[in-house]
Amino acid sequence: MSAPARNPRWLALYAAVVFAFLYLPIVVLIVYSFNGGGVGGFPPHDFTINWYRMLLGDGSMWDSVLNSLMVACAAMAISLLLGIPAALALDRASFPGKTAFRRLVLLPLILPGIITGLSLLMLFVGMGLHLSLLTITLGHGTALISVATTDIFAGLQKLDRAQEEASLDLGANYWQTFWHITLPNLRLPIIGAALLIFTLSMDEIAVSFFLIGRDNTLPLEIWSRLRRGMTPEINAISAVIFVFSLVGIVLWYRLRTRAQGQPELGSELLETAAAATEL
Amino acid sequence: MNSPATDARAAAAILLSIRQVAKSFGKLPVLRAISLHVDEGEFLTILGESGSGKTTLLRLIAGFEHADSGEIWMAGERLDPLPPYRRRVNTVFQSYALFPHLSVRDNVAYGLRVQKVAASDVEKRVDEALAMVKMTAFAASKPAKISGGQQQRVALARALVNRPRLLLLDEPLSALDANLRRQMQLELKSLQREVGISFVFVTHDQEEAMVMSDRIALLRNGSLEQVASPRDIYSRPATSYAAQFIGHTNLLRGRAEHGRARCHGLEFPTTAASGPAIFSLRPEHIRLADSAAGNDAVRFCASILTQSFHGATDLLQVECAEGLKLTVRVPSHGPLTGQHNFEFSAAHAIPVRDSEERT
Amino acid sequence: MFSRAYKAAITLPPLLWVAVFLLVPYALLLCYSFWTVSPAQTIIHHWNLGNYRELLRVHVYFETLLRSMWIAARVMLFALLLGYPLAYYLSFHAGARKDLLYQLVIIPLWVSYLVRAYAWKTILGSDGVLNTLLQYVHLTRHPVEFLLYSPFAVVLTLTHIYTPFAFLPIYASLEHIPRNLVEASHDLGASPLQTFWRVILPLSIPGVLAGATFAFVLSLGDFLAPLLLGGPSGIMISNIVVSLFGAAYNWPLGAAISLCMLLLVVGLLFLSERLEKKWSYS
């Protein structure tokens, strides 16, 4: 590393300010989730955990959490089951419409979510399908295939091709090679993609907005509460969501550090983001 | 002990003075209190294996690292407090480090432009520099479009155009293939003569060091083993490591007593002090004994284990009666087998210090 | 070279799914944009350009689009102003803590968008944290009104949400700059500032373009922040689309607007990609 420049002091300060800006709302949210006096008002007073107690007893909130979990798991499955073959196809096979396919798959990532949402709404209406958790799941799965495809594609690129060739040379066919050699090497990108898809699905609003039936997902439940008015109970559930996100990212970090020694700076988000602008 | 060349250099002015410089990375000591000087106009090579600290030493001179202790002086002023962009020192990097977004011309002009040299002067000096490295035709190309050898020339021009007092070269030839490398060695040497400034050249290749240098500083594990001209280091190595690292040698371990050495059943006169001793004997100094006895060469009998053909010479592995294995270089023969008599003059058994003592 | 069964197995399922669930819906979008809605709230499959004419004729759509683009442009600017120095600091000055700090930037991305937008709502309201704080320390006497339900609130919230998105590609491109180029620049006499201006910045432009594109495109199509915090003066184009699919029931018109947005976004991406290629040197 080169000799330190003279400016890092103000640069470090600037960086600290940006970090503060990024975390300020979350901190406020958590602090006020314990505020007896409600959502706003300074300074906070009347420390209480009542809002969390309310949250615990809030049946419809937990229903929506359950719904979101089911949808997220199903979306994860769909995205991976389709994303893995898609990544393989893009990496290895040539077929007509390959470029078109690649761009089409990436569209939901960069287009405003509502466009994908309402397009799917038109499809389901045309198919005569009733809006429900199923339609939401189909929507999430479709929108998030690109996440799986991109991350696994990146993982395939880093794969040592010679290993697969050695497997074929030793007498295994393509299926066996895929199962015994390729797939185990893709473990990390798959898990990373799965975590990302799960998180994105749990938070998804734009697509879900149009495809919601009677059962709410968690974000949409929070959304409908918001329209009725703001209570610190929402702060409480937000704080809970934050803690879960934190746990998720720590887990992801541990996973990669353990497996690779040094987590790569190209995270799934980065690779997905990079692919999205390449279209 | 000094050759005429070394005497002449002693008269030359000292440009750079490294005084007791030490550097550790964390707990790992990389340089241990090194003292070294570079003369005006000399080609000094810092030679060592990887991990010897040679690149760190170069980076200290360039300003990319700071020493933990010690001082570096250049032309009467302290160099070490200055950041790299204030030192009259330029570097040719191992990977060339050409700016990919600038053309060859802009790369070469970079140093002049940031120093706010007048535009007309910039153009003139860039043209001269490009002509000197024979890259005028490529002035408008981007680095990605030219070959490795060409990139290396551009890196050289980019450094030299600033007229530094000292040029540092960090293994600049290691990425080139063998033929190009040999060619560039001679070109660099003549370039240095032409430009007249001091070059400090870092390499792990001892042949390269011998071809190019006025003096070689042999670095091992952060300490200097020996600093001398190539001929001096070769014919009078100071330590067993120096003897083995530069050229090939046989190391004979034995004892010296009152001017006589005894090792492996061989006996010969020596200047070594009494006590355990190590001798370096170069393979080319051992020859097949001619039947005429009478000269005072040391004789021994050995059987030939292997013989390999090296064009002008043959390299023989021989084994003596006491189990001592030696490498012998003789002018090319037909096939040789069995027992033969060999001899060498006692003067060629050079006493060296044992390098194992210092780790 | 491939067994045909294997090749079929890996290409067909994704292709089929994407065809059914992406190609067809987007095609339907195209179709709807040429249809109209009858007063009886049914879709008339009569192909015409009526919706597009409407878009050109009625000012509010174009105005809202312009306002959305202006909001998106400001978000892009601020996201870059915040994200670039942060990325630069992490890449060149953070040393051993680089990894930890990187994770700290990523964490907000994993936290729900809705949660973060809601947080700003609680902060910016007239009874919100900021206003009561200002009154508490006697900096103001009445609540500052423009903080919430204004374009200001939308820009602020979206900047908060999308700064990490701008950060990511900038950081990646900065990391890709070989450190020996920085050393070479210093070696040749350039100060750190000159080095930044002449070497680091030009080489980081692809990352800046990508980050700017993200921030702009994602902000442009955002509907949640304006809905929560924008008020009547902060409506963006996506809100109009949402209402056309809701209370203001006019799917064809909504489809037409969506199609225009789609074309705009795709156009911007192509432009960005072109520019990135031009400025890329690896």
Q: What tens digit of pLDDT does each residue of B70-87 get?
A: 999 998 899 989 999 889
Contacts of A38 by beta carbon, 8 Å cutoff, 6+ apart: A231, A232
What CATH number did the domain enclosing C217 receive?
1.10.3720.10
d(CA C219, CA C207): 18
Contacts of B64 in chain A (CB under 8 A): 2-3
Residues C259 and C145 in one domain: yes
| C residues 124..183 contacting B (CB < 8 A) | 178, 180-181, 183
CB pairs under 8 A between A and B: 8
**Bridge partners (DSSP) listed for residue B339:** B303
For B93, the closest of C184, C191, C282 (CB atoms) is C184
Q: What is the pLDDT of residues C9-37, one digit of tens each?
A: 888 888 899 889 988 999 999 988 888 87
Q: What is the pLDDT of residues C240-260, one digit of tens each?
A: 999 988 888 888 888 999 999
What are the structural domains, with CATH classification, of chain B?
A: 4-237 (3.40.50.300), 248-353 (2.40.50.140)
The distance of B68 to chain A (nearest Cα, Å) reads: 14
Q: Residue A82's Cα: distance from chain center in Å? A: 17
Domain presence at residue A48: no
Domain presence at residue A33: no
Residues C199 and C61 in one domain: yes
- Closest chain B residue to A3, measured at CA: B64
Domain presence at residue A57: no
| Pairing mode, strands B166-170 and B89-92 | parallel
pLDDT for position A275: 61
Domain presence at residue A248: yes
Residue listed under structure tokens 């997220």? A72
Domain presence at residue C203: yes
Residues C215 and C75 in one domain: yes
Whether B64 sits inside 8 A of C186 (CB atoms) is yes
DSSP codes joined into one string, B201-256: EEES-HHHHHHH-SEEEEEETTEEEEEE-HHHHHHS-SBHHHHHHSS--EEEEEEE
Q: What is the mean pLDDT of each run of 10 residues along chain A (279 residues)?
A: 57 93 90 79 78 86 91 94 90 82 83 90 88 90 90 86 83 83 86 88 89 88 83 85 83 72 51 56
> Considering Cα of B325, then B330, then B335, then B341, what sign does the dihedral take?
negative
Domain presence at residue C40: no
- Structural domain harbouring C215: 57-278
- CB atoms near residue A62 (< 10 Å): 14
Contacts of C88 by beta carbon, 8 Å cutoff, 6+ apart: A11, C174, C196, C200
What CATH number did the domain enclosing A163 receive?
1.10.3720.10
Contacts of B98 in chain C (CB under 8 A): 184
Is pLDDT larger for residue B38 or for residue C122? B38
d(CA B318, CA C162): 75
Is pLDDT larger for residue A263 or for residue B41? B41
Phi/psi-derived region of residue B118, left when phi > 0, alpha when psi is between -120 and 50, beta in every other case: beta
Domain presence at residue C51: no
Q: Residue A162's Cα: distance from chain center in Å? A: 33
Cis ω for the linkage preceding A43 (within 30 of 0): yes
| C residues 176..215 contacting B (CB < 8 A) | 178, 180-181, 183-191, 194, 198-199, 202-203
What is the Cα Rg of chain C in Å? 24
- Closest chain C residue to B90, measured at CA: C187
The distance of A35 to chain C (nearest Cα, Å) reads: 12
**Phi and psi at residue C29, in whole multiples of 5°?**
-55, -45
Interface test with A, best of C3, C12, C15 (most A CBs within 10 A): C15
Domain presence at residue A19: no
Residues C171 and C232 in one domain: yes
Residues C24 and C143 in one domain: no
DSSP strands (E only) in chain A = none
Rounded to the nearest integer, the mean pLDDT of chain B is 90
- Structural domain harbouring A157: 62-278
Q: For chain A, say whether B309 makes contact (Cβ under 8 Å).
A: no
Which helix (H) or strand (E) element contains residue B281?
strand B275-281
Structure tokens given for B211: 């071809």
Residue C121's pLDDT band (boundaries 50, 70, 90)? confident
The distance of B65 to chain A (nearest Cα, Å) reads: 6
CB C92 within 8 A of CB C178: no
Domain presence at residue A150: yes
Domain presence at residue A37: no
Whether A101 sits inside 8 A of C18 (CB atoms) is yes
| Pairing mode, strands B43-47 and B198-203 | parallel
Residues C116 and C249 in one domain: yes
d(CA B230, CA B242): 11
**Phi and psi at residue B194, in whole multiples of 5°?**
-65, -45
d(CA C212, CA C162): 10
CA dihedral (B257, B259, B261, B266) in degrees, to 10, reads -130
Q: What is the pLDDT of residues A150-182, one digit of tens each?
A: 889 888 888 888 888 888 888 888 888 888 888
Contacts of C187 in chain B (CB under 8 A): 62-63, 84-85, 89-91, 159
pLDDT for position A260: 60
Whether A2 sits inside 8 A of B66 (CB atoms) is no
- Closest chain A residue to C104, measured at CA: A19
Residues C247 and C166 in one domain: yes
Average pLDDT over residues C138-163: 87
Domain presence at residue C144: yes
Tell me how many domains chain C contains.
2
Structure tokens given for B149: 């050898």
Q: For chain B, say whether A2 makes contact (Cβ under 8 Å).
A: yes
Residues C24 and C164 in one domain: no
- Closest chain B residue to A6, measured at CA: B83
d(CA C194, CA C186): 9
Total residue length of chain C: 282
CA distances from C218 to A113, A124, B54, C29, C233 (A): 9, 26, 51, 20, 20
Q: For chain A, say whether B63 makes contact (Cβ under 8 Å).
A: yes
Domain presence at residue C39: no
Residues C23 and C148 in one domain: no
Residue B291's pLDDT band (boundaries 50, 70, 90)? low
d(CA A3, CA C226): 47
- Closest chain C residue to A248, measured at CA: C110
Tell me how many domains chain A contains.
1
Domain presence at residue A27: no
